[in-house]
Amino acid sequence: MLIGGFQPFTLCDFPGRTAAIVFTQGCNFRCPFCHNRQLWARQSDTVAPIPQEKVLTFLAERRGYLKGLVITGGEPTLQVDLSVFIRKVKKLGLAVKLDTNGSRPEIVERLFSEALVDYIAMDVKAPFTKYDLLCGSTVNHAAIRKSIGLIAASPVQHHFRTTFYRALLSETDLQLIKDLLPTNADFHIQPCRDVH
């Protein structure tokens, strides 16, 4: 696991649980509104990697206080040893929330089949006519559709979310994004805080 950041405590990132957050290093998208640009590259000259054993030791010491771990990024599903890391976290008695861009449905499906995820949040970036623009890269739309379907059909707690980047998205686009999701899907719209 390439870990580029760690937040020891959050009350708002894992619904219903006190948690810590691991930020994985590396992402296959280049969203112009990203607030974690330092995590784009798999290897960075500006971000010192955090050993996973250091994170696991911290989590073990906070047993009873923390109830979960959020794994975000970057894009966590790019990590080749993601499931190995999650198993170690779950052995500590913590629930796991995964944040994903949905670009690797085969990984999501595998994690579901191995009961490694307790909550999943998927970013749905845009209507497909604007997806590549909002991601700053060429996106496999079929993979995004498959991830939406897998997550919506799974018994795992979940929600979908869109960062409302007003420079590139409109209210009409938000409706088109909702149309990509199943009826009554739990859909969150996050305002973009332009800090970069």
User: Which parts of the chain fold into alpha helices (H)?
Assistant: 52-61, 82-91, 105-113, 131-135, 141-153, 171-180
Provide block-wise average pLDDT over 10 residues at a time, the chain (196 residues): 96 97 97 92 83 97 96 97 98 98 98 98 98 97 98 98 95 97 95 70
For the chain, domains (ranges, CATH) are 3-191 (3.20.20.70)
- The pLDDT, as a whole number, for residue 191 is 86
- Please answer whether residues 57 and 63 qualify as being in contact, where contact means their C-beta atoms are separated by less than 8 angstroms: no
Pairing of strands 19-24, 95-100: unpaired
Q: What kind and span of H or E run contains 6?
A: strand 3-10
Q: Rounded CA gap, 23 and 63, in Å?
A: 20
Task: Write down the pTM of the prediction.
Answer: 0.96
